[in-house]
Structure 1
């Protein structure tokens, strides 16, 4: 179990290392005015970075539950534990995606469709 968690932490850490590039901020681009739009924009940027990793984590938990279920070998206690992990993984995915969708609808209602933030994840336009 510890080896699995260690390997998962290695993968998550290696995926997060490129985010360190966001730490470099151009001082000339920083504005002294703080507006509600700037606050929502910053929160949207932060959530767009965090949500994909949370979805990945919930998916890994779900898949871990499936592996536990398959390897339970008919032991009722292990089967119940595996079912619990699967349910929590699916529930985590459902809650995160529902909350993300609700926030998108709320932002659309407040700011209109032209100000909607992009979907979370990398920008793939150079590859299209």
Structure 2
């Protein structure tokens, strides 16, 4: 059975806390900004159908980005917790 030393677990935890979590948080913020930009573009589009379509696309990609970031965060935590407990 493979067992990680406490220093390896500590190293992996520091990578998670200081590198991966901020990157995921930043990407989450980008997805929220894209979504909000899409809402604003859609609302200000008025009668311009092309602007409304672009706004809807931005909202869709913002939601997809949010879903991906939440999924990545969850999968990353499951993998790290699994390897830390081995």
With the length of structure 2 as denominator, give the TM-score of the two structures: 0.78
1:74, distance to aligned residue in structure 2 (A): 2.2
- Who is 2:3 aligned against? none
1:111 aligns with 2:84: yes
- Segments of 5+ residues of structure 1 without an aligned counterpart are 1-34, 113-128
Q: Which runs of 5+ in 2 are unaligned?
A: 1-6
Name the structure 2 match of 1:58.
31
Pairwise CA RMSD: 1.5
Corresponding residue pairs, total:
77
Q: Which residue of 1 aligns with 2:58?
A: 85
Cα separation, 2, equivalents of 1:89 and 1:61: 5
In terms of fraction of residues, the more helix-rich structure is 2
Take 1:49 and 1:79, find their aligned partners in 2: how far apart are those partners? Answer: 33
Given candidates 43, 49, 67, the residue that maps to 2:15 is 43
TM-score using structure 1 length: 0.55
Question: For the residues of structure 1 that align with 2:8 and 2:69, how far apart are their CA atoms?
Answer: 24
- For residue 97 of structure 1, report the CA deviation from its aligned partner: 0.9
Flag the structure with more relative contact order, 1 or 2, with Cα contacts below 8 A and sequence separation at least 6: 2
